């Protein structure tokens, strides 16, 4: 699946094991609806791409969003 919330819902229903961001399953882990398996395993580092049209100067909102994205994904 490419929808994290649907993946979470499927895991809660017992469909199988899933790789889901901790932030999306914190409540489910806390109340026991999900159980973490392989706690020491991590996904390999990946890349994030921001695609936008290049038309001269970048609008302030777009530049701000890109700055926040870069700050948020930095390892």
Check whether 75 has a pLDDT greater than 70: no
Summarised one tens digit per residue, pLDDT across range 11-59 is 999 999 999 988 899 999 999 999 999 989 988 887 778 888 777 888 8
CA–CA dist 11, 1 (Å, integer): 12
**pTM higher than 0.85:** no
Summarised one tens digit per residue, pLDDT across range 33-46 is 999 999 899 888 87
Instruction: Copy the structure tokens of residue 53.
Output: 């049209």
Going from N- to C-terminal start, the domains of the chain cover 4-73
Q: Give the pLDDT confidence score for residue 27 in this predicted structure.
A: 96
Residues 8, 20 contacting (CB under 8 angstroms): yes
Query: What element of type H or E holds 26?
Result: helix 22-30
Q: Per residue in 36-67, is it b (16+ CB within 10 Å) or e — as a string?
A: eeeeeeeeeeeeeeeeeeeeeeeeeeeeeeee
5 against 54, higher pLDDT: 5
């Amino acid at each position: 699946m490419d929808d994290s919330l649907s993946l979470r819902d499927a895991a809660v229903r017992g469909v199988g094991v899933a790789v889901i961001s901790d932030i999306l399953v914190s409540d489910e882990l806390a109340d026991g609806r999900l159980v973490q398996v392989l706690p020491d395993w991590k996904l390999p580092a990946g890349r994030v791409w921001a695609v936008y049209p290049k038309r001269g100067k970048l609008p302030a909102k777009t530049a701000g969003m890109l700055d926040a994205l870069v700050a948020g994904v930095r390892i």
